[in-house]
Amino acid sequence: MNMLRVSVWRGGADGEYRNYEVPRQESQSVLDVVTYIQRNIDPTLSYRFACRVGMCGACAMTVNGVARWTCRTHVAKVAKDNAIQIAPLANLPVVKDLVTDMREFFDKWARARGRFAPGATRKDAFARVASDSPERVAANAGIECIGCGVCYASCDVVSWNPDYLGPAALNRAWTLVNDVRDTAQRERLAAVAGDAGCHACHTHLSCSERCPKNIVPTASIAGLKRAVALAAWRGEL
């Protein structure tokens, strides 16, 4: 039986890697490995998952140094010398083992005004938005985000600047900047400008490289930079 050597982070921020041996299977995912350890070797291992079919993003972890969805990561693709290393997502406080505290991630979403601000009531007619209008195309490119945190964990600017809102929050803000029905545009642009906002992005493209839904937050953030500059030029910021 071919055994996979697995190194897993145990503990909180102060912790250590512990080694386990897991039987290799065909088409085995990293989530399968973590589940095997928790069910057969060490029931005290804490981790998150939900759908296990690549839809919810709950199983995101750091595998061999890179943030990934573990249910969509084949062991065969990432194992080096029959070994893998599993750690919690970076840039987020570690609760226990492979579980991180995602509150700051979502707080920043709110701080970036990543929330739709409606202006119409039920008495108004439906808004008519052409699906091929430039704004709608731009918004659609970013709305599939499910808040898994992989981009946030991959971003070095988040590591270097604790206040930085991050790729996911800014991407969401961009989709709303392009929502013609939204009524909080001015506040939103003010929220995403600044060195905690879009101007801190240095186009590393790590977020876009790692997004499991192939969203390009870098492009969204570039859009925000342009929108904010235009607003400042017009004295509207």
Contacts to another protein by CB under 8 A = 9, 12-13, 62, 64-67, 87-95, 100-101, 103-104, 107, 111, 141, 153-163, 190-191, 193-197, 199, 202-206, 209-210, 216, 218-219, 222, 225-226, 228-229, 231-233, 237
Closest CB 1 distance from another protein, rounded Å: 29
Phi, psi angle pair for 222, to nearest 5°: -60, -40
Q: How far is the CB of 68 from another protein (least distance, A)?
A: 10
Cα 64 to Cα 231: distance, rounded to the nearest angstrom: 43
**CB–CB of 10/26 below 8 Å?**
no
CB of 236 to another protein, least distance (A): 11
Q: Is 21 helix (H, G, I), strand (E, B) or coil?
A: strand
Nearer to another protein, 4 or 90 (CB): 90
Q: Give the residue among 178, 181, 109, 182 at the shortest CA–CA distance from 146.
A: 109
CB of 124 to another protein, least distance (A): 30
Give the amino acid at 196. A
Of 5 and 156, which has the nearer Cβ to another protein? Answer: 156
Residues near 71 by beta carbon (within 8 Å), at least 6 away in sequence: 29, 30, 31, 49, 51, 52, 53, 54, 59
Rounded Cα–Cα distance for residues 218 and 216 (Å): 5
Give the torsion sign (CA, 195, 199, 202, 208): positive
| CB of 120 vs another protein, minimal distance in Å | 27
Kindly tell me which of 51 and 230 has the beta carbon lying closer to another protein. 230
**Strand 3-11 relative to strand 83-87, pairing:** parallel
For another protein, the closer CB: 36 or 106:
106
**Can you say how many angstroms the Cα of residue 38 is from the centroid of all Cα atoms in its chain?**
25
Nearer to another protein, 14 or 26 (CB): 14
Smaller CB distance to another protein: residue 71 or 89? 89
In the complex, least distance from residue 208 CB atom to another protein, rounded to whole angstroms: 8
